[in-house]
Structure 1
Amino acid sequence: MGAVIVVVGENVIDLLPGRDGGTRALVGGGPANTAIALARLGAPVRFAGRAGEDAHADAVRARLAAEGLTWTDVPGPTPVAEVTLDDAGQASYAFRLDGAADFTRAAPPALSPRDAVHLGSLAAYLEPGATVLETWIERVHTSHVVSFDPNVRPTVLDLDAARARTERYAPMVALMRVSTPDVAALYGDEPPASAAARWLASGCGLVVVTDGEAPAAAHGPLGTVTVPIPRVDVVDTVGAGDTFDAAMLAWLAARDALTPASFARAAASRDAVAAMLRYAAAASALACTREGADPPTFAEIPL
């Protein structure tokens, strides 16, 4: 049996601007978006997420159930993100997180021998669950491929602590995708290529940097591979990076490249890395043509 991708992290209710001047509530959350995108792309996925007990939780459960995903019910409210869109559809977020269900994790999920792990976003940084997850990754990263998306939210994180945790994660992860805003939030004016070089030197297998409509760049053992992002009519960018993450993992899963040895072989092939990036760029671009976090399906973006 091939690898199952175990996605760890949060659901979030995105409150988007309404056309009538009000707001619309859509279910999102970076890790949940990634899990749903993986399911739609036909990849074997398990979501180690949680649903709270407030009025938003029913929408969270319905969304996950519609994609064949499961969750754990726990006390606490659902995280809420108030989304602001600029003229180009780029999203920014203001969060309400106090006591939220996703950040009180007492134990990590169990893994089978061939499973891979994807984590990141708020659940990777907010206590008390963040330390539980970091300790778990310390234990499993030598035997399982770990994918990490920092998805940094400066308005709710202690950036000094987040920077230190990111540096601790880098040597433990096979695949890290960061956006240029992530790097800027953590490191100011440091060029993304410089941060990527440091993470690779510390032991990270492959660092992928995305920058909106600019080409995506993968920094790895054979240098840097870049691919263009398809030009589309952007509705908004909500969930675009999460879809990029999922599409890379789906591409790797379809080629049985999610064990430590097989991932290392893929990362050492410029052709494989370029093909993975092209697939992820196409999937992410298609997600930007839709409102909210609405990733494409396997039929739309075949592997």
Structure 2
Amino acid sequence: MTQRTLVVGEALVDIVHRTDGSVEEHPGGSPLNVAIGLARLGHPVHFASRFGDDLHGHTIRAHLEREPHITLTRGTASAPSTSTATATLDEDGAATYEFDLTWDVAVALDKDPIGHLHTGSIAATLGPGADAVLDTARRAHESGTVSYDPNARPSLMGDPAQARARVEALVGVADVVKASDEDLAWLYDAHTTLDADAVMRRFAALGAALVVVTRGADGARVHVPRGDEWADVAPVADIVVADTVGAGDAFMSGLISGLLDAGFLGSREAAASLRRADLAAVLPAVERATRCAAITVSRDGADPPTRSEL
């Protein structure tokens, strides 16, 4: 029987204050977006997070319940309150964020078998929940596979050196690592002389079998340690960008989806296949990820595509 795909991470409500005085609220959180992206691509997903039985929690639950392939783990909806991120926009559209966030996810994590685990962002670095996330990733790595996206949030993650230690602990048990060039710049540029390719090699040396760095409008850079292979994948052409909200999460869900379909994720046997794979074998998954991101940026908000839209 196919073991489950589990996504672990924060679910919160973004509260956006615009310059005209209007206020908008919508569900957010990078792992939540990845879970929805995977579900829309046809993959049954279990989602472990923390939100409350309050108005904001009801918003998140309703958002997730629109996706028939998502199952919440027991304990996810039992937090004392729901986390929020308040964004105040200036005249140029730039946002200043204030977070009301408590991350203690242990109660939502169980001991059931895991075929594939995805985690990242705030969930993997903010205590006390980050310790439980790392423990779960280590357990998943023993019998299944793990993907990880640092998705750095400097205002919450503190000093880059401390965050880097947390990030590299997760990289050490991940089979697939996806990061943005902005993530790498914040984590490494201020304190090291490593360029992006050197960081990708570092992640591979720590244990990742596939490392992908997204570069916004410049596409993605792919590294397969086996054979020391590299590729640059161009973005989809002729896309009219509405906004870039959720683009990296859509890319991540497309990448996981492609690798699951190719038999490269979901068990240690699949992980062994991924470690034997060459660049040509993994590029279709990266190309699916690129298409998912392109569709998402063509419409407002974090709205990843369904499989039929690819």
> Are the equivalent residues in 1 in contact too, given 2:5–2:46 (CA < 8 A)?
yes
Matched positions, count = 296
AA aligned to 1:281 is: T
Q: 1:205 to 1:86 in 2, by over 3 A?
A: farther
Q: Which range moves more in the overlay, 59-68 or 77-86?
A: 77-86
Matches of 1:19 and 1:250 in 2, distance apart?
A: 39
Task: Report deviation, 1:224.
Answer: 1.1
User: In percent, how many aligned pairs have the same letter?
Assistant: 36
1:86 deviates by 9.5
- Aligned match of 1:49: 49
Shift of 1:92: 5.8
1:65 alignment partner in structure 2: 65
Note closer, same or farther for the CA distance 1:178–1:87 as it changes in structure 2 (3 Å cut).
Answer: farther
Aligned to 2:302: 293
RMSD of aligned Cα (Å)? 2.3
Name the SS of the counterpart of 1:24 in structure 2: strand
5+ residue gaps, structure 1: none
Moved more, 269-278 or 55-64: 269-278
* Aligned equivalent of 2:208: 204
1:225 maps to 2:228: no
Whichever residue aligns with residue 144 of structure 2, its letter is H
Tell me the secondary structure at the aligned position of residue 157 of structure 2: coil
Deviation, structure 1 residue 284 = 0.7
Deviations 1:64-85 (A, max 9, x none): 1111323322233322223477
Distance across 1 between alignment mates of 2:235 and 2:181: 15
Quote the residue 2:290 is aligned against: 281
**Counterpart Cα distance in 2 of 1:176 and 1:86:** 34
The answer to whether the 8 A contact 2:11-2:60 is kept is: yes
Identify the structure with bigger relative contact order (alpha carbons < 8 Å, sequence gap 6+).
1
Q: Is 1:97 matched up with 2:100?
A: yes
Instruction: Give the direction of change, closer, same or farther, for the CA distance of 1:88–1:178 in structure 2 (3 Å limit).
Output: farther
Residues 217 and 133 of structure 1, relative CA distance in 2, 3 Å threshold = same
Q: Per the alignment, in what secondary structure is the counterpart of residue 51 of structure 1?
A: coil
C-alpha separation in 1, matches of 2:287 and 2:123: 28
Shift of 1:274: 1.3
Query: Which residues of 2 match residues 90-169 of structure 1 at below 5 A?
Result: 94-98=97-101, 100=102, 103-107=103-107, 108-112=109-113, 115-159=115-159, 160-169=161-170
**Residue 252 of structure 1 is aligned with which of 259, 265, 268?**
259
Secondary structure of 1:225's partner?
strand
Deviation at 1:230, TM superposition (A): 1.0
The question of 1:216 aligning with 2:223 is answered no
CA distance in 2, matches of 1:272, 1:27: 35
Distance 2:208 2:18 in 1: 41
Partner residue, 1:262: 270
**Is the 1:150–1:166 contact (alpha carbons within 8 Å) kept by the matching residues of 2?**
yes
Task: Tell me the distance in 2 between the aligned counterparts of 1:3 and 1:300.
Answer: 27
Q: Which letter maps to 2:205?
A: A
Q: Structure 2: how far apart are the matches of 1:264 and 1:197?
A: 19
**Native 8 Å contact 2:209 2:274 kept in 1:** no
Q: Distance in 1 between matches of 2:59 and 2:289?
A: 28
Deviation at 1:3, TM superposition (A): 4.3
Q: Which residue of 2 aligns with 1:242?
A: 249
C-alpha contact (below 8 Å) 2:116/2:140 kept by paired residues: no
Q: 8 Å contact 2:224–2:278 — kept in the other structure?
A: no
- Work out whether residues 225 and 273 of structure 1, in 8 Å CA contact, stay in contact via their aligned partners in 2: no
Query: Residue in 2 aligned with 1:82?
Result: 86
Matched-pair contact (CA < 8 Å) for 2:34–2:250: yes
TM-score, L = length of structure 1: 0.89
Q: Aligned partners of 2:203 and 2:96: how far apart in 1?
A: 27
Contact 1:124 / 1:130 at 8 angstroms: preserved in 2?
Answer: yes
Instruction: Report if aligned partners of 2:263, 2:270 keep a CA contact under 8 Å in 1.
Output: yes
